Copies of this chain bind each other. A is one copy, B any other.
Amino acid sequence: MRVKIGGKIKNFRTIWMKGKTVRMIDQTKLPYKFEIYDSLDFKQTAEAIKKMIVRGAPAIGVAAGFGIAQAILDAPEDRFEEFLKHAVETLRDTRPTAQNLFWTIDRILKIVIKGKNVSEKKKLAVDEANKIADEDVETCKKIGEYGDKLIKDGDKILTHCNAGALATVDYGTALAPIRFAHYEGKKIFVFVDETRPRCQGSRLTAWELSQEGIEHAIIADNAAGYFMQKGEIDLVIVGADRILSNGLTANKIGTYEKAVLAKENEIPFYVAAPTSSFDLKSKEIPIEKRSQDEILYMFGLNDEGKFSRVRIAPKKSQALNPAFDTTPAKFITSFITEKGILKPKDFRKLFK
C-alpha cells in the first residue's frame, strides 16, 4: 500500500517475515504514527493478534501462519510435537471469529507433516507461510479487479470498519475495488463509517484513503441510514471475518445494521472476501465479546499530541461489547471473491 513518509511515497505490506522476525505495521498507533512492530517469536505474534497490532481477518490469518512458522523454527527437536501443539493452541485462542486464522494454521500443519525431518519441516513451514502471504496479495488484486466492475464513475460508496490493505497483506478486500476504481480514474467518493467502538473506520480506513488521495468523509455509524435514505449512497462494500455455506456473514459489529438499511433503501450491498474466509462446514459463528472499556472509553491523541483515553460514561455504568454480528444472505447482493462475483449457490462448486 502507498504510505507517505517524509513527503515520499513508499510501498508497504501490512505484515511480512524477515528471518525469524515477523514485521507488521502497528495498527494501534495509526493514524497518528507509522511504526513497524517486530515480533520475535510465536508468543509475541499471538499477543500482537490479541492486542490488535495486526487485525482484519486475512491479515490475522497471515500473522497466524507466520506465528506457526516461528514456532516451528524455535521448536526443540526433542519435543517438537509438544512445542508445536502448544503454539497452535496459543494462536488459535487469540481471536475466535476470523475464519482465516484457522484456515491458515490448518494449511501449514498439513504441509509440515510431509517434512521428513525437523529441518525439512522448518523450511516447509516458512515457505508455506510466505506463500500464503503472497497469495493473499494476488487474491486481493483479483477481488479488486472483479469488484471494480461493480463501481461506476461518480459512485458514492459506503464502507464499514476497515477491510483495507491493513486488514490484509496489501490492497484490502472491500477497499481493493475502491483502489482499483480510483487508479482507473473513476471519480468516486467514500462514506467511511467511524465504526465504534474501536473506530477502525476513522482510524484506519480514513488513513488508507488519505494516503491514496481518495475523496472521503467520516460519518457517525448512526448517519449511514440518513445518507442512504437521501439517495447519496450508490453501493455498500464491506469485508468479512467468516462466511458460511448459506451465505451467513460475520463481520464487524454494525454490518448487519447497514445491510438491513441497504436492502430497505434498495442499495446493492457487497461482501468482499477471499475464499480463505469461507467456512463451509460450520453451522454457526462464534462471536467475540470484547472488553467493555472499548465502549466506556475512547482512545486517541490528546491536544498535547499524546496517545490517551477519555471516559465517556458514568462511573457506575457498564457496557456490552459484541465485536461482530452476522448478516443473513438475503441482505447481501453478492460476494466479491478472487474467483468472481458469487452467490451462495456457487460456493460449493468453487471451493474445495
Count of identical protomers in the assembly: 2
CA gap between A207 and B317 in the complex, in Å: 8
Contact pick for A260, options B203, B220, B260, B318, CB 8 Å: B260
- A113 contacts the other chain (Cβ, under 8 Å)? no
Residues in B whose Cβ lies below 8 Å from that of A319: 217-219
From A89-97, A128-136, A190-198, A336-344, the one touching the partner chain is A190-198
CA gap between A319 and B202 in the complex, in Å: 9
Interface residues in A200-258 (C-beta closer than 8 Å to B): 202-203, 206-207, 209-210, 216-227, 229, 252-254, 256-257
Which residues of A come within 8 Å of B, CB atoms? 31, 191-192, 194-197, 199, 202-203, 206-207, 209-210, 216-227, 229, 252-254, 256-257, 260-261, 264, 295-303, 308-322, 325-326
Q: Are B317 and A310 in contact (CB under 8 A)?
A: no
Given A260-B264, A295-B202, A314-B31, decide whether A321 and B220 contact each other with a Cβ distance below 8 A.
yes
Residues in B whose Cβ lies below 8 Å from that of A229: 256, 325-326
A240 to chain B, nearest CB (A): 16
CA gap between A313 and B296 in the complex, in Å: 19
Given A209-B317, A221-B221, A229-B326, 7 more A-B residue pairs with CB atoms under 8 Å apart are: A194-B313, A220-B295, A222-B253, A229-B325, A261-B261, A301-B310, A302-B311
Contact pick for A223, options B226, B303, B325, CB 8 Å: B325
CA gap between A308 and B217 in the complex, in Å: 24
Residues in B whose Cβ lies below 8 Å from that of A303: 308-309
Q: Are A210 and B297 in contact (CB under 8 A)?
A: no
Contact pick for A254, options B192, B223, B321, CB 8 Å: B223
Contact pick for A257, options B206, B218, B224, B316, CB 8 Å: B224
> Which partner residue on chain B sits nearest A320 by CB separation?
B217
Q: Are A309 and B302 in contact (CB under 8 A)?
A: yes
Contact pick for A222, options B202, B206, B221, B309, CB 8 Å: B221
| Pairs across A and B, CB under 8 Å, 28 listed | A31-B314, A195-B222, A197-B220, A197-B222, A202-B295, A203-B313, A206-B317, A209-B317, A210-B314, A217-B320, A218-B313, A218-B320, A220-B295, A222-B325, A223-B254, A223-B321, A224-B257, A225-B256, A226-B325, A229-B256, A260-B261, A260-B264, A264-B264, A301-B310, A302-B302, A302-B309, A303-B308, A310-B310
